[in-house]
Amino acid sequence: DAGVTQSPTHLIKTRGQQVTLRCSPKSGHDTVSWYQQALGQGPQFIFQYYEEEERQRGNFPDRFSGHQFPNYSSELNVNALLLGDSALYLCASSWLPGETQYFGPGTRLLVL
Amino acid sequence: SQKIEQNSEALNIQEGKTATLTCNYTNYSPAYLQWYRQDPGRGPVFLLLIRENEKEKRKERLKVTFDTTLKQSLFHITASQPADSATYLCALDPYNQGGKLIFGQGTELSVKP
């Protein structure tokens, strides 16, 4: 049974560019949450998708947007990249909102 | 302000000893609290969840306590091993609304042989 998968594993972009990160949830899970983790910090909640709708959102600007597809996979889009967006982006899935979240390996984004 | 804090300094212990990590929170009334393990460059791995009506929970060499009066959770690893070396994160759902986890900054544990 595959766990949560994310792609790509690493990414380098320049300021002002746009990026799309992808996540496939664990089999049987329909809820996907995205987190940003800066070096030496705990993950910070970006938003959560359930039934293809954004259900909850953290304190992130509108440059951060997402989508959930009918197969429950999800994308995180970040526009107008800033240097401060450099971080590990984590996707987590659960079989319902509020249930235990299982994390993927993350995508390491570097903005130059 | 609302916050969740863990031991900021790294914890260094000898193999075989018990490691105790602390998680304190303010201005929340979470229904449950979770502990995760994170290895460098990897995603967090779920370890244990403890609910507000549970004082203590155990899983193999792991033990978690949850004191809602003190607003504190303690995480213990008994008979620690070098393979337990990692960063340990506590997390809670501050408004019990299903899945918006707030994490502490993590405590780095190093177990020396």
* Residue B93 or residue A84, greater confidence: A84
pLDDT of residue A70: 96
CB contacts < 8 Å between A and B, how many?
67
pLDDT of residue B30: 84
How far is A17 from chain B, CA to nearest CA, in Å?
A: 24
Beta bridge partners of B109: B11, B86
Query: SS3 for B63?
Result: strand
In chain B, residues with a C-beta closer than 8 Å to the C-beta of A104 are 43
Q: What is the CA radius of gyration of chain B?
A: 13
* pLDDT less than 70: residues of chain B: 1-2
Q: What percent of chain A has pLDDT over 90?
A: 91
Segment (H or E) for B33: strand B32-38
The token pair that represents B100 in the structure block: 């918006």
pLDDT of residue B94: 76
Chain A within 8 Å of B74 (Cβ-Cβ)? Answer: no
pLDDT of residue A1: 62
pLDDT of residue A82: 98
- Measured between CA atoms, the residue of chain B closest to residue A88 is B41
Query: SS3 for B87?
Result: strand
For chain A, what is the total number of helices (H) and then of strands (E)? 0, 11
In chain A, residues with a C-beta closer than 8 Å to the C-beta of B101 are 33, 35, 43, 45, 101
On whether the CB atoms of residues B44 and B35 are closer than 8 A, the answer is no
pLDDT of residue B2: 61
Tell me the residue length of chain A.
112
- Measured between CA atoms, the residue of chain B closest to residue A46 is B100
Q: Residue A91 half-sphere exposure, CB side, CA atoms within 13 Å?
A: 34
